[in-house]
Structure 1
């Protein structure tokens, strides 16, 4: 079955963000650990990594059972527009209990901005949404019938 692996981009705070997420979700980095731009092997025709970005995160992932959240820092000048926090991305998660939903929401919203507090919704979920201190948007959904 196809899996959805959200991928988050940061502008120099990826490692800090993923260490925070690792703590909140009580998990570890996946088998690849943290790969940095400076770890790239030399390649013919590709200039060496500039010193100012060599410590930025090229790729990192944390596991949630058989799901994965991945991320990286952007490489300045890469892409067709400047980095913008938010960029209309949410990560939607479905904890196993209301208590776990409350715990995760509380921890993620620390130093962040609550968009919608956790509450029962008309569609049947216990739901809340927020933007964390790193600019990542989260939706927390609990539904006892959703497994």
Structure 2
């Protein structure tokens, strides 16, 4: 196996909805969606937490993305201090994904030309995940 690096995002009860949305928009496959109630062995979780997602695994031909709802007793402060940066070969694909992520979210920087890509913009989607979306990368 080769070394791999993947983002692991945390949510507060809406992980399943977010990961299903990302799978659909990004053309990926959601390979695992395991709730706390489905965990093998260990201590049982409180009934109100059993339906929350312990581990989600989304696979695309070019990347993997993992996520889960915060464990019981862990306060959730949102996703802070980072953003998911994704690059598409074309402006059209970047525009499509940016539009989908913008619905119900907040655009922090509209798509526009940059020195590193034909288009780049930043949006925090409706699940609270910040994204930097590139389309048509340029050689720097």
TM-score, scaled to structure 2: 0.90
Q: Which residue of 1 aligns with 2:47?
A: 51
**Structure 2 Cα separation of the partners of residues 86 and 35 of structure 1:** 21
Deviations 1:35-62 (A, max 9, x none): 111011233xxx3211111111011111
Aligned position for 2:104 = 111
Deviation at 1:89, TM superposition (A): 2.4
1:72 is the counterpart of 2:68? yes
Aligned Cα root-mean-square deviation (Å):
1.5
- Within 2, Cα distance between the matches of 1:22 and 1:66? 13
Shift of 1:66: 3.9
Could you tell me which runs of 5 or more consecutive residues in structure 1 were left unpaired when the two chains were aligned. Answer: none
Q: How many residues align?
A: 137
Superposition TM-score, scaled by structure 1 size: 0.86
8 Å contact from structure 2 (residues 88, 137) kept in 1: no
Q: Which residue of 1 aligns with 2:78?
A: 85
Aligned partners of 1:114 and 1:83: how far apart in 2? 23
**Hey, which bits of structure 1, 4+ residues long, moved more than 4 A?**
none
Higher strand share: 2
Q: Secondary structure at the match of 1:105?
A: helix
Q: For structure 2, which runs of at least 5 residues remain unmatched after alignment?
A: none
- SS of the aligned residue for 2:17 comes to helix
